[in-house]
Structure 1
Amino acid sequence: MTITTVNKVSIAGIVSVLPESICENTDDTSELASQEMARIVASTGIHSRRVTAAEQTVLDLGLIACESLLGELAWDRDDISLVIFVTQTPDYPLPGNAIQLQHQLGLSKSTIAFDVNLGCSGFIYGLWQTSQLLSGLPTGKALLIVGDTTSHQYSENNRAVSSLFGDAVSAIALEKIENCDEMVFSLGSDGAGAPYLIQPNGGARKPNCAPELFMDGMQVFVFTLREIPTSVNTCLAHKGWRVDDIDYCVMHQANEMMLKRLGDKIGISQEQLIISMGEIGNTSSASIPLALCVSLQAVLLHQPTKLLLSGFGVGWSWGTVALTLQPLKSCKVIDLKTST
């Protein structure tokens, strides 16, 4: 794996958006289905998921998140030099979501805007790439948008995934600051995992087939327990932190049992480990910033916080970052169910 650092770039704010519709994992009342769902809920901790309407896209949610975030920060939009949109469910094969968002937000034509195709590790990779690029640009502000509408990628009778994945988007504002904590990243990939978590349809090889996400849950579990403790421990060592030094650990919100097993292997206490997917589902690259907004809003708005963040999944791909967040200027969830 690769260890890399970023200096003089900090997160200024986070806004996450949840779609209106709620799908309960206990909605199917047939006896066999109920027994199966009870087992799934017991092992994953996911009772319900938030899903978008058929006509609602990840770009729609991203625009809502960015408008709210920019309003709260009161940023001059001409100062934004970079927009990166991390998603596996873009509105179109081309053009990308980021460049459409640049226009919709009224940003300058000098803004750099592009998409990154990554899933559950996408927030960590996106944070690293956005921070690295921003540090070399003349103006000092950037937007990172992460998330997917995964519910559009499978049929409801595909219980291996339909009971797990929800939809959400998070927008993260980054800015260059002289005096801020160094971010230490540990990043890795292993393409041997490609067959075990894959959307085989709708691309160049099977262009005319309806999307049907496939996941081998056991292979995902084995990969995660094999790679993530090493990634976390390596990251902490290069940061010069012990596990006891961190305030909170927020990992990709995939599965409650998996996160608890990882916490045990790493030595994370129950008080440090954040688990927040129970009523939301696995929201792909949005899951870590969404968990920060859902579970740590009051903390992050008012005090410096030492965080260990780790994302992992499709690819295989994984990344961990250790950083100290200064009090955020914005940290909230926009719940479209309560705001409509």
Structure 2
Amino acid sequence: MTTTSVKNISIIGIVSVLPEIELANIDQTCVTDIEKVIASTGIHSRRVVGPQQTALDLGNFACQQLLAELAWDINDVALIVFVTQTPDYPLPGNAVLLQNKLNLPKTTLAFDVNLGCSGFIYGFWLVSQLLNGLKGSKALLVVGDTTSQQYSDSNRSVSSLFGDAVSAIAIEKTPSTDEITFNFGSDGSGAPYLIQPNNGARNPGISPELFMDGTQVFVFTLREIPKSIMQCVEQKGWRLADIDYCIMHQANEMMLKRLAKKLGLNTDQVIISMKNIGNTSSASIPLALCLSLSEQLTTRSCKLILSGFGVGWSWGSAAMTSSPLRVCQLIDLASDNNLYFPFKQLKTL
């Protein structure tokens, strides 16, 4: 595993968007013993997009809200990175399309990163490193997937787990800010255990069908993530007792509780927030921040451990002291659809 750090960088705002459709897991007739699945995963329902709604749609809306809340001058945005495994098109990428939708200047760097549940940590590190090398001071990181479009309703291994969401994160250069420590790892031998093998260059013209071996995912997570978090904490010079909150990828409740027990974290430190949204891939960490910690993050500094892990295998952790955020907002389209997001007015490329 690789440990590194960045200086003079802060997250200053987050807007997360949940789509309006909610599917109750108790109605999943294809899953045997669904009550036991709900009890072990902690996922009672999931939020999914409707027809012709995409991660780019949600990302565009999240960014519009974030830019308005921060009153940023769009000419100051030097970089936009979109981390997603469900882009609108094979090409061009979502980031370039979003740069145009937001009317960002042509000087804005824009590109996609194909990562899943570790994507927020990788994206945060990548944007931080690049921003420190650019003249501009502001960047947008957009993370999230519409994973519900990658499997059929009859897929017993994943249909009760994965939901859709997108988060937009505002990142700025902030001199003299506390150093952020990162730890990363990759192990491609895990690729067969969490894979969407269809409709790419290898198996073209076949409907997407996500496959997951839950046992292998669980074993990988318990083997690698405690080590990654501990290396990150030790490099930071902290003890686990020093941290305010540990926000891990919201895969399932049983997994997070096992990780917390292995690390020796108490229940007040560990955030669990997937009950009514499901596993939302790379959006799950910033979404959990908006769902569970908005008041704390906007009113005071917090010592945070963030850790994402999954498809690849790929994992990353971060230790940081957050300054009070200017915005930490969840927009739930189930209640605010007409006000915020008129889908029928969206235009495709």
Q: 1:36 aligns with which of 30, 33, 37?
A: 33
- The alignment status of 1:233 with 2:242, answered yes or no, reads no
Distance in structure 2 (CA, Å) of the matches to 1:91 and 1:36: 35
User: Which residue of 1 is the match for residue 342 of structure 2?
Assistant: none
Structure 1 residues 206 and 35, CA gap change in structure 2 (3 angstroms):
closer
Distance in structure 1 (CA, Å) of the matches to 2:63 and 2:215: 36
- The alignment status of 1:258 with 2:252, answered yes or no, reads no
Q: Look up the SS of the partner of 2:259 in the other structure.
A: helix
Distance in structure 1 (CA, Å) of the matches to 2:31 and 2:112: 40
Match for 1:243: what amino acid? Answer: L
- The alignment status of 1:201 with 2:198, answered yes or no, reads yes
User: Which residue of 2 is the match for residue 333 of structure 1?
Assistant: 330
- The alignment status of 1:268 with 2:273, answered yes or no, reads no
User: Which residue of 2 is the match for residue 73 of structure 1?
Assistant: 70
Distance in structure 2 (CA, Å) of the matches to 1:304 and 1:16: 20
Match for 1:26: what amino acid? Answer: I
Deviation at 1:179, TM superposition (A): 2.1
- The alignment status of 1:290 with 2:284, answered yes or no, reads no
User: Which residue of 2 is the match for residue 25 of structure 1?
Assistant: 25
Match for 2:43: what amino acid? Answer: I
Distance in structure 2 (CA, Å) of the matches to 1:81 and 1:11: 15
- Aligned residue pairs total 337
User: Which residue of 2 is the match for residue 182 of structure 1?
Assistant: 179
Q: Give structure 1 regions of 4+ aligned residues with deviation exceeding 2 angstroms.
A: none
Q: Deviations over 1:267-316 (max 9, x none)?
A: 11100000000000000000000000000000001000100000000000
Task: Map 1:63-212; keep pairs closer than 5 Å.
Answer: 63-212=60-209
Answer with 77-86 or 36-45: which moved more. 36-45
Distance in structure 1 (CA, Å) of the matches to 2:237 and 2:188: 30
Deviation at 1:159, TM superposition (A): 1.9
Deviation at 1:35, TM superposition (A): 5.3
Match for 1:19: what amino acid? Answer: P
Distance in structure 2 (CA, Å) of the matches to 1:71 and 1:225: 41
- The alignment status of 1:47 with 2:47, answered yes or no, reads no
Match for 2:9: what amino acid? Answer: V
Q: Deviations over 1:102-129 (max 9, x none)?
A: 0000000000000000000000000000
User: Which residue of 1 is the match for residue 9 of structure 2?
Assistant: 9
Deviation at 1:266, TM superposition (A): 0.8
CA contact (8 A) 1:26 1:34 kept: no
Match for 2:132: what amino acid? Answer: S
Query: Normalised by the size of structure 1, how large is the TM-score?
Result: 0.98
Q: Look up the SS of the partner of 1:59 in the other structure.
A: helix
Match for 2:175: what amino acid? Answer: E
Match for 2:192: what amino acid? Answer: P
Match for 1:328: what amino acid? Answer: L
Deviation at 1:36, TM superposition (A): 1.8
CA contact (8 A) 2:31 2:156 kept: no
Match for 1:277: what amino acid? Answer: M
RMSD: 0.8
Distance in structure 2 (CA, Å) of the matches to 1:273 and 1:296: 11
User: Which residue of 1 is the match for residue 310 of structure 2?
Assistant: 313
Q: Look up the SS of the partner of 2:290 in the other structure.
A: helix
Q: Deviations over 1:141-184 (max 9, x none)?
A: 00000000000000001021010000000000000011211110
CA contact (8 A) 1:77 1:107 kept: yes
Q: 2:243 aligns with which of 233, 243, 246?
A: 246
Distance in structure 2 (CA, Å) of the matches to 1:66 and 1:227: 33
Q: Look up the SS of the partner of 2:293 in the other structure.
A: helix
CA contact (8 A) 1:90 1:96 kept: yes
Structure 1 residues 95 and 35, CA gap change in structure 2 (3 angstroms):
closer
Any gaps of 5 or more consecutive residues in structure 2? 338-349
